Amino acid sequence: MIPDWPSERRHMVERQLRKRGIHDQRVLQAMLVIPREEFIPHDHRVCSYQDEQVQIGYGQSISQPYMTALMAELLELTGSETVLDVGGGSGYHAAVLGQLAARVISIEIIPALARQAGQNLLRTGLGGNVKVVRGDGSQGWPEAAPYAGISVAAAAPDIPEPLLEQMGDPGRLVIPVGSRYDQELRVIAKANGVIRERVVTFCRFVPLRGDNGWQ
């Protein structure tokens, strides 16, 4: 029996997002219309709208829906921005950001996942303003900088300096920082040359790989 995916999406938005304090209507709408199941391997699609991470292969996972929505909301996007998505995975987070910004660069260090993300975005028709690149996300992607928003879906031991350098002014960086197993989700905001940082919540992400991540 094929699940009723639109119904599952509606329940996810109402129960996991809205009731937990996600208020940005553009974020809620993006999560409502994007078929998350299309970014999850067939063997795990039954878990597409559960309140948990889902494995996507290669030791990587797609974040729980609430964390995806929270990170997107914290970027405070209006629709005109260029955004960097670090740790692109299977492309779902890039798809969400693509509904909220003018242009998205999604960088993934694992070649097979980068190819998969591109295929997923093409198949769902959600890749029109999203460019998937293969590379070390801890180094950012200077070719398209500066970025009004940078979202990092992998845990860093410290905030990578290249990402700070590639932030626009104004600009916002949302990133989990901490050990391999437990982190703080931080927001770094730049305005008029002044950088402010705050901790939003505790979280648990896969480690950020690369020169400015975990070796």
Q: Give the pLDDT band of residue 214 (cuts 50, 70, 90).
A: confident
Per-residue pLDDT reduced to its tens digit, 168-186:
999 999 999 999 989 999 9
Q: Which of 61, 63, 106, 151 is catalytic?
A: 63
- 63 is an active site residue: yes
* Mean local confidence (pLDDT), 12-32: 98
With a pLDDT cut of 90, the percent of the chain lying above it is 97
Report pLDDT for 36: 98
3-state secondary structure the chain: CCCCHHHHHHHHHHHHHHHHCCCCHHHHHHHHHCCHHHHCCHHHHHHCCCCCCEEEECCEEECCHHHHHHHHHHCCCCCCCEEEEECCCCCHHHHHHHCCCCEEEEEECCHHHHHHHHHHHHHHCCCCCEEEEECCHHHCCHHHCCEEEEEECCEECCCCHHHHHHEEEEEEEEEEEECCCCEEEEEEEEECCEEEEEEEEEECCCECECCCCEC
Q: What is the pLDDT of residues 58-115, one digit of tens each?
A: 999 999 999 999 999 999 999 999 999 999 999 999 999 999 999 999 999 999 999 9
Domains and CATH numbers, the chain: 5-203 (3.40.50.150)
Per-residue pLDDT of 135-148, as tens digits, reads: 999 999 999 999 99
